[in-house]
A and B are shown apart, each in its own frame.
Chain A
Amino acid sequence: MQAVMAFENAPPFAAPLRFFLTAPLFAVLAGLLIAFEGPDLFASRWTPGALAATHLLTVCFMLQVMLGALIQIMPVFTGANLKRPLAVARIVHVGLSAGALLLASGFYSGIPGLLSSAALVLALTVLLFLAATVLALSGVPSTSPTIRGLKLALLGLAGVVGLGVLMALALAYGWALPLAALADLHAGWGLGGWAGVLLAAMAYVVVPMFQLTPGYPMRASWWFPVAMLGMLLLWSAAVLAEWPWLVRLSQFAAAVAGMAFAGLTLRLQAKRRRARADATYRYWQLGLSASIVALLMLASAALWPDAVGVEGWTLVFGVLLVAGGFLPFIAGMLYKIVPFLAWLHLQECGKAKVPAPAMNKLLPDVNTRRQMLAYAAALLLLLATVPFAGWLARPAGVVFAVANGWLWWNLASAIRRYRQAEIDISRKLAAK
């Protein structure tokens, strides 16, 4: 009985928590790297520093949280029963952290051995995760857009990691591959096929339920993941066939699909029925707006390829989509997931006799709102750094590191209060 198992097998708090508490530290590291390298990092998207910082954010931060969250919520969202979640979490966490650090240092130093070992470690880690999730999802029919989206996102994950491993090995062993075209495609699979589709699949559920908005239109939600994956397959075929016009056409269509999703989500959120705008909601608005601007840039560049020649175009696009789009969604969700899971576990400790402190006692709103403002300031500085790298690169790196360090501090403080509450509750229970 698959469904019954999923009810009982909610993974222990320790399974996802390790991912959530280490991920922000890697974003701090990215900020420090920017501060250390200074203006040189912003010379192009291909500088060793830029490649290292990008992967610290995408693999060490984004992928880390996404996999941790999936281990936690897959049973609730899909009814799939992940076998031995704690063991999977432990291995995936160590593999991802080690692999991503190897990758970032490989890019930064240019040492081939680091790149090839990163490729090996990341490939094995993601394969293990995919094996565990595909096994869990194999008996689950796609009865909702979320379940289908999740399954397609896993295909996107396989795509981005497969291409990434191929390129890391090509760099390490000097294989002759069209690296520029493959790097664009790799980013497309990662940000569109994996992160974008996963975000949509989650948004279909979390936006209406937790922000009390109207639901996403059924037909569009079924088709968005399919359209995105379809465009990426087309893009891949175009790279293989060396048809630049088809590459641009598929980029344009993927950008339009992404903008439609983000625009629709903004419209739904405008109809939300919650009493106040908390940090999570503000983070989503920031992420959606920045993504729309980034995707407009992608669509324009597909129509007028010369735009990419404008100085700093690709860097602004990358900062807007990764630091402006995806990171805010993730921070916003962490601010709900971590205190809720903490509350849930305290509730279980209290055995219905001692009440658990509510989420806002574990993580006060005022702390999260201030951190969100600091992050928004860091993002603006990073964007301004592209044209004014000489002056701004180092301060922008420092502010970015501080804002992400603050995110870590907020989450770690929630866990500290959780541990304290756990002790208090067991004392009270013992006294009863």
Chain B
Amino acid sequence: MTTIRSYMTDDHRHCDDLFAEAEQAVGKGNLDLAQATFGHFHSAVLAHFNTEETTLFPTFEAKTGMTMGPTQVMRMEHGQMRALMEEAADALKAGKTEDYLGLADTLLIMVQQHNMKEENMLYPMCDQHLSAELPAILERLETELHEE
């Protein structure tokens, strides 16, 4: 059965795949391809953040009354990752591969520890509290993730 946890976790892995493609392109010295694939990664992650911030988190907050809890921490971390992705995109555009690889390494750890918190704590909490709304939420997440 699809749950919020399984659906959103799959999207995390999809973003990981795009990240790996971009890094491999940099490793091969193909900067044009790297920019294009990093662009795909960047927009996939932003779409993921947006659907969480506009649909999943507000629904969770409304249902549980927890507005200053985990969702707040996740929003803050989204901000940190948005800034890192901007920096990485700029480094790639300027052809500074060393800088890019350093930023990418930092970004990867940041993303993964963030994902771990969501996959192990927040999403299971969402599944637990939002079981009644589950089909409707999944449908909205699906539409928002594939809008572009």
Contact = CB atoms under 8 A, between A and B. Distances in A.
Interface in A251-281: 273-276, 278
B80 interface: yes
B101 A205 contact: no
Nearest to B21: A273
A276 B108 CA distance: 14
A181 interface: no
A76 B73 CA distance: 13
Contacts of B117: 7, 76
A79 B80 contact: no
B79 A352 contact: yes
B108 A210 contact: yes
A148 B79 CA distance: 33
A276 B23 CA distance: 9
A76 to B, nearest CB: 6
Nearest to B109: A340
Contacts of A360: 98, 101-102, 105-106
A413 interface: no
B48 to A, nearest CB: 16
A318 to B, nearest CB: 33
A4 B66 contact: yes
Contact of B80 (A144, A210, A340, A352): A352
B14 to A, nearest CB: 13
Nearest to A278: B105
Contacts of B24: 273, 275
B69 A7 contact: yes
B26 A352 contact: no
B121 interface: yes
A119 interface: no
Q: Which of B80, B87, B98 has the most CB of A within 10 A?
A: B80
B120 interface: yes
A144 B66 contact: no
Contacts of B36: none
Interface in A188-221: 205, 209-210, 212
B39 interface: no
A94 B117 CA distance: 31
A355 B87 contact: yes
A205 B112 CA distance: 10
Dominant secondary structure of chain B at its interface with chain A: helix
Contacts of A4: 66, 69-70
A361 B112 CA distance: 20
B113 A76 contact: yes
Given A275-B26, A352-B80, A355-B87, A7 B73 contact: yes
B120 to A, nearest CB: 6
Contacts of B27: 274-276
A172 B23 CA distance: 57
Contacts of B106: 340, 343, 358-360
Interface in B122-148: 122, 124-125
A352 B69 CA distance: 20
Interface in A332-364: 336, 340, 343-344, 347, 352, 355, 358-361
Contact of B116 (A1, A76, A143, A358): A76
A128 interface: no
A6 B113 CA distance: 13
Contacts of B101: 275-276, 360
Contact of A205 (B23, B98, B116): B116
Contact of A7 (B104, B110, B121): B121
B66 to A, nearest CB: 7
Contacts of A273: 20, 23-24
Contacts of B98: 360
Nearest to A10: B73
A306 interface: no
A16 to B, nearest CB: 14
A360 B16 CA distance: 21
A79 B105 contact: no
Interface in A381-430: none
Contacts of A358: 87, 99, 102-103, 105-106
A215 to B, nearest CB: 9
B120 A79 contact: yes
A66 B81 CA distance: 28
Closest 4 A/B residue pairs (Cβ):
A360-B102, A275-B27, A273-B20, A358-B102
27 contacts: A3-B122, A4-B69, A7-B70, A7-B73, A7-B117, A76-B113, A77-B116, A77-B120, A143-B120, A144-B120, A273-B20, A273-B23, A274-B27, A275-B23, A275-B24, A275-B26, A275-B27, A275-B104, A278-B105, A336-B109, A344-B110, A352-B79, A355-B83, A355-B87, A358-B102, A358-B106, A359-B109
Given A76-B117, A358-B102, A360-B98, 7 more contacts: A4-B70, A76-B116, A79-B120, A275-B104, A358-B103, A360-B101, A361-B102
Interface of B: 16, 19-20, 23-24, 26-27, 66, 69-70, 73, 79-80, 83, 87, 98-99, 101-106, 108-110, 112-113, 115-117, 120-122, 124-125
